[in-house]
Amino acid sequence: MKNVIKVIDLLSEYSGKIAYFLIIPLTIIVFYTVIMRRFFGNYPEWGFEVTIFLFGIMILLAGADTLRTKGHISVDIIQSYVHGGVKKALNIFICLLITGVALLLFLKGIDLSIESTMIQERSAHQTSFNPTIWWFKWFIPIGAFLLLLQSLAELLKLIIKKGDDNGTDI
């Protein structure tokens, strides 16, 4: 079981690294677009949509690693008042909630992606660039699947953990 958790953690870590490196082309494109608009009065029409794609992919791929590293924002008012088994049960409930939401996102994302692919969906912004976006929509179920796996790994960590030592906050 611990090997499965390690593999999922590693997958989340690598997807997070890919997401983190996407900030480089995102920054370059934003910088280029701003310079072109500000100093030359002409900006590339693709700049806006490409930044949306890169930022969206970055967020979708980083979710699992954020959960793995506990890098998200957490409201832990209730958790600060409970200890022991109650805290562990609360953390398990939260993890099950994340798992459920990730599963719904995965299933709905698959449907959305298949439909978008079948109709070869294009951007709704109606610029001359007018890119296809069906490929971009596939990152929704990919990101949701990674989050689903990581939430299951976090759930397993909570279940197999011996003792409490104040619990692991989700």
Give 8-20 pLDDT, tens digit per residue: 999 999 999 999 9
Query: Is 149 a member of any domain?
Result: yes
Q: Which residues of 15-38 are buried (b: 16+ CB within 10 A; e: fewer)?
A: bbeebeebeeebeebbeebeeeee
Decide if 87 is inside a domain: yes
Domain, as residue range, for 36: 2-160
What residues have CB less than 8 Å from 102, skipping those under 6 apart? 144, 145, 147, 148, 151
In single-letter form, the type of residue at position 140 comes to I
170, part of any domain: no
* The predicted structure's pLDDT at residue 128: 84
pLDDT tens-digit series, residues 105-148:
999 999 999 999 999 999 988 778 889 999 999 999 999 999 99
Which of helix, strand or coil describes residue 126?
coil
User: Measured between alpha carbons, how far is 120 from 49 in angstroms, rounded to an integer?
Assistant: 17
In the predicted model, what is the mean pLDDT of the chain? 92
Locate 109 and state its tokens. 């994302």
pLDDT tops 60 at residue 165: no
Assign 3-class secondary structure to 15-73: HHHHHHHCHHHHHHHHHHHHHHHHHHCCCCCHHHHHHHHHHHHHHHHHHHHHHHCCCCC
pTM exceeds 0.85 for this model:
yes
Counted domains in the chain: 1
Q: Are 63 and 148 within 8 A, CB to CB? A: no
